[in-house]
Amino acid sequence: MSVKYCAFPGQGSQQYGMGADLLCSPHFQQRYMKTTTRILSYDPLEVICDDKGDALNRTLYAQPALFLVEAAIYTEVVSARMTPDLMIGHSIGEYSAVFCAGMIDFEEALWLVKRRAEIMEEENEKNPGAMAAVIGSNLDLALKIISSSGLDIYPANYNSADQLVISGRRDDIDKLSDEFTRSGFRFIKLKVGVASHSPFMDELSVELGRALNSVNFVDPSIKVLSLTTLELFTKSNVRSLLEDQIKKPVLFYQGVKKLLSTDKEVRFIEVGPSNILTRLIKRISGRDLCIPVSGNEAAGAINSVE
């Protein structure tokens, strides 16, 4: 029998209309939506379903929306059909994993995600940053270009053997665009306004730490692997791991490689609105090991991981 892992994607995977059917389901409405609107002070469905607006591309709204949708997919679709052996989350997706593993209750988890989004939105307004994806077969060369540039640019996400996301000031990111292109890389600026997962987040992590210290955590009922340190979350380390996460790179590539080396018969389920992690896991493993589950229409696919 295969080992089953759940993977929760991060910001950038959001889509208009995502998870609306699950958020509108009687069970989710009764169990969570009253609390949701009280904590957020707005109806997230209005943001998620407003395809003529731009709110869902703002960190302030995108992160709570992703958390809600991922929580809904897991609680309404996945957990009814299987219990995973372990969970991982990419950036804000790690908060979904921590909640779904039973480490924190829904109200405090949503408040924490909201506070993280507020802190990052404030930073975006005061000190705008940028992130970009660097795609190519020679990531050692990409890291050399960064280190020799003399600019304040940092690796932010190690997504696969041929994809790196970098963070820095907007002007500095723009300055390196031509050099990466000349060196044979694809260079794609991302639609974010902060230099996440870098030392630019040091002050924000202190503020986030205060928020983390005000909520309650327990040990997980399902293992969660940190993609900051590649260690398992526990009640004693969860605050420090989530505080450090915002200022340190996401080791998605290294985390997936670690899991693949530990268990040979591995299957992943991507719990989110897109197939971003599904495609990355295929690039890392060279195999179709991940199934994206975004709603009830994909529920039957969960059985194939058995």
Per-residue pLDDT reduced to its tens digit, 250-268: 999 999 999 999 877 889 9
Range with the poorest average pLDDT among 110-124, 169-183, 244-258, 291-305: 291-305
Nearest to 233 by CA among 113, 137, 94, 127: 94
Residue type, 147: S
pLDDT of residue 298: 59
Q: What is the Cα–Cα distance from 42 to 30, expressed in whole angstroms?
A: 17
Phi, psi of 192 (to 5 degrees): -135, 155
Question: What is the per-residue pLDDT for 302?
Answer: 67
The reported pTM is 0.95
268: left (phi over 0), alpha (psi -120 to 50) or beta: beta
Residue 306, pLDDT score:
57
- In this structure, is the dihedral angle defined by the CA atoms of residues 102, 105, 106 and 108, taken in order, positive or negative? negative
The answer to whether 20 and 67 have CB atoms below 8 angstroms apart is no
90 among known catalytic residues: no
Percent share of the chain, pLDDT over 70: 96
Mean predicted confidence (pLDDT) in 13-25: 92
Triad 132, 137, 143: Cα angle to 5°? 55
Q: How far apart are the first and last CA of the chain?
A: 6
Give the phi and the psi of residue 73 in degrees, each rounded to 5.
-60, -45
In this predicted model, what pLDDT tens digit does every residue of 86-124 receive, in sequence order? 999 999 999 999 999 999 999 999 999 999 999 999 988
DSSP secondary structure code for residue 223 in this structure: E
Exposure on the CB side of residue 233, measured as CA atoms within 13 A: 35
Minimal CA–CA distance to 255: which of 217, 291, 228, 221? 228
Least confident of 66-75, 160-169, 245-254, 259-268: 259-268
For position 125, what pLDDT does the model report? 83
pLDDT over 80 at 270, yes or no: yes
Comparing CA positions, the residue from 109, 26, 125 lying closest to residue 70 is 109
Q: Are strands 129-135 and 163-169 parallel, antiparallel or unpaired?
A: antiparallel
pLDDT higher than threshold 90 for residue 294: no
Calpha distance 71→19 (Å, rounded): 10
> Across residues 183-200, what is the average pLDDT?
91
**What are the structural domains of the chain?**
3-125+198-305 (3.40.366.10), 129-189 (3.30.70.250)
Q: Active-site residue 197, yes or no?
A: yes
pLDDT digits (tens, 9 = 90+) for 23-54: 999 989 999 999 999 999 999 999 999 877 78
Report the chain's mean pLDDT, rounded to a whole number. Answer: 92
Share of the chain above pLDDT 90, in %: 81
Q: What is the structure's pLDDT at 301?
A: 64
Q: Reduced to 3 states, what is the DSSP secondary structure of residue 169?
A: strand
Query: Catalytic: which of 13, 90, 91, 96?
Result: 91
Please identify which of the residues 13, 167, 196, 197 carries the catalytic annotation.
197
Assess whether pLDDT exceeds 70 at residue 137: yes
What pLDDT digit, counting tens, does each position of 219-251 carry?
Answer: 999 999 999 999 999 999 999 999 999 999 999
What is the mean predicted confidence (pLDDT) over 204-216? 96
